Amino acid sequence: QVQLVESGGGLVQAGDSLRLSCVASRRAFYAMGWFRQAPGKEREFVAAINWSNGRTNYADSVKGRFAISRDNAKNAVYLSMNSLNPENRAVYCCAAGPVATDVQAQYDYWGQGTQVTVSS
C-alpha cells in the first residue's frame, strides 16, 4: 500500500501562483499525476509525470501555466501553478500508478486532496 499526502493548497487571488506537494510513503509506482475536481463537476486530469525519465503531459487547459515536477529523494511530486484564476478552484488530488496517463482508472493510489480557492 502507498499513502499519498498532498499539501500546499489554500486561498489565493487571481493572478497568484501556488505550488502543491504530494509525498508518497514509498516508491511502488512508475508515474504520478495530478487531478482536480471543481464543485459540481467530474474529476479531471491536470498533469502527469513518468518517474524514471521525467517525461510529462498536461491537460490542454493548463499547458503553459502549470508545471509538474518530482523529487526522487523525497518521493514527492509537485504542481506549480501560475496565473491562477477562479476557474482553477478545485480539490487537487495526486495519484500514483504504472503509467503517466490522463486515464484515472490507470492509477492505483490516490491522496485525499488539497483545496485550492482563487478569489477574483
pLDDT at residue 22 tops 90 = yes
Angle made by CA atoms 95, 98, 104, in degrees to the nearest 5 = 45
Taken in order 87, 20, 65, 2, is the CA torsion positive or negative?
A: negative
Q: Tens digits of per-residue pLDDT, 51-105?
A: 999 999 999 999 999 999 999 899 999 999 999 999 999 999 999 999 999 999 9
Chain mean pLDDT for the chain: 96
